[in-house]
Amino acid sequence: MSASEPNGAAGLPWQRVFDQAAAAMAILDLQGRYLHVNAALCRLLGYQPEELEGLDYREVTHPEDIDREGPVESEKILEKRYIRSDGSLIWALVSRTFIRDARGNPICFLSQIQDITQRREAELLWQRSFANAPIGMALLDLKGAWTAVNDTLCSMLGYSREEILSMSFADITYEDDEQQGNAALEDLASGLIDSVNLEKRYRHKDGRPIWMLIRATTVPGADGSPAFVVSQYEDIGEQRMVDARLAHLALHDPLTGLANRALLADRLDHGLQQLARGNGVLAVVLADLDQLKPANDRYGHAVGDQLLIAAAREIQLAVRAGDTVARIGGDEFVVVSLLPDEAAAEALRDRVAAHMNTDIVVHAMPITLRASVGYAVTSDPSIAPDALLHLADRDMYASKRRRREARGGR
């Protein structure tokens, strides 16, 4: 029997099937020498049949991938690298099966070899990209548990890899942000969407919040349905603070921190919408400082600015937490409040007037704060916001006129 003919196998039909098979295959003796190789294996490794037959498989195996125990110990499936005739390497998936005699004793074994080089290169590229990414990356199951994380994410969150892999994202999500995170995961897991971007807060191991921009994408399984989720994480805390600061500046007075005209207009519109649902009355209280210009002329604009800041503080003490307080001119302040009735609106006007007519200390100097206060009340949701402000302005000027007349009468 030649080296290419396993015991008792010469001329059998299986050999023609073996030789013509598209898959790379070889028959080896129990010591690991090739007895018979097919054309597909020769093409895969770049050898002629006579070069391989009689050769020990270890001689074309990468040294790091040689299984030292040899092929006799067990049947197995393994991944390994082969050295081709030109010195290049390929990755292969190898399946070993014993061929046995009539008594069940192994006489040789069959190796089936599948070239998986492209797959392994893609896996290696993914692994290196995942591990070395400058942003946080993770794999999650469809219940939200982390199954793989990179060093960047560990560093961002302050946890070790083992600690993160023992948790789900919900374990370190701020309570106020849980709903959007869970809703996004449900949509991904159900296949309703295949990717999502969201901003949410994670809790660092030291307790501080971290604002994250998260991009999550599902990876389908064999049946096409979502199998797991790949997520990318960017710490946007600093940018979010910048954005929040810019948004605040766009809607607030830079000196006092009160709402500006743009935010006041929005709050008025919102209040009128609430009226349309039958919610009480909308009150607008307008206060105009009487002595800002004299204070600027006498003490300078720095003191005048402090006077405005003090006035803003006083008017805020007169209102409820949900009311809007705005500065709309050099010395004009406005309060917008949704109240149960006109009596409550009049009481608000009186509180504002009391706080805006009091003695204060500015730059260690006692100053008497004086302001004229007017108000307007409506239960009509169709009134124009400007018209409501105009009514409050008219009432304020009537109050100013009465104050002047009272001072002249003395």
Question: Rounded to 5, what percent of the chain is helix, strand, coil?
Answer: 40, 30, 30
Which has more confidence, 259 or 292?
A: 259
Which has more confidence, 247 or 274?
A: 274
pLDDT of residue 292: 67
Which has more confidence, 67 or 106?
A: 106
Which has more confidence, 271 or 243?
A: 271
Alpha helix positions (H), 95-157: 117-132, 151-157
Q: What confidence tens digit (pLDDT) does each residue in 165-224 have? A: 999 999 999 888 888 889 999 999 999 999 999 989 899 888 888 889 999 999 999 899
Neighbours of 174 (CB within 10 A): 14
Contact 157, 205 (CB under 8 A): yes
Is 0.85 surpassed by the pTM of this model?
A: no
The tokens describing 352, both together, are 């504002």
The tokens describing 88, both together, are 């290049």
Residues contacting residue 328 through CB under 8 Å, at least 6 positions apart: 260, 261, 264, 334
Span 73-87, mean pLDDT? 85
**Spatial distance between the Cα atoms of 152 and 320, rounded to a whole number of angstroms:** 45
| Share of residues in the chain with pLDDT > 70 (%) | 89
In 3D space, the residue among 85, 90, 89 whose CA is nearest the CA of residue 114 turns out to be 90
The most confident of the ranges 74-88, 153-167, 265-279 is 153-167
Q: What confidence tens digit (pLDDT) does each residue in 326-369 have? A: 999 888 999 999 999 999 999 999 999 999 998 887 777 787 78
Three-state secondary structure readout of 278-313: CCCEEEEEEEEECCHHHHHHHHCHHHHHHHHHHHHH
Task: Using pLDDT thresholds of 50, 70 and 90, give the confidence band for residue 3.
Answer: very low
Ordered by where they begin, the domains of the chain are 13-120 (3.30.450.20), 133-236 (3.30.450.20), 252-409 (3.30.70.270)
**Spatial distance between the Cα atoms of 133 and 137, rounded to a whole number of angstroms:** 7
**Residue 72 predicted with pLDDT over 70:** no
The most confident of the ranges 4-18, 80-94, 231-245, 293-307 is 80-94
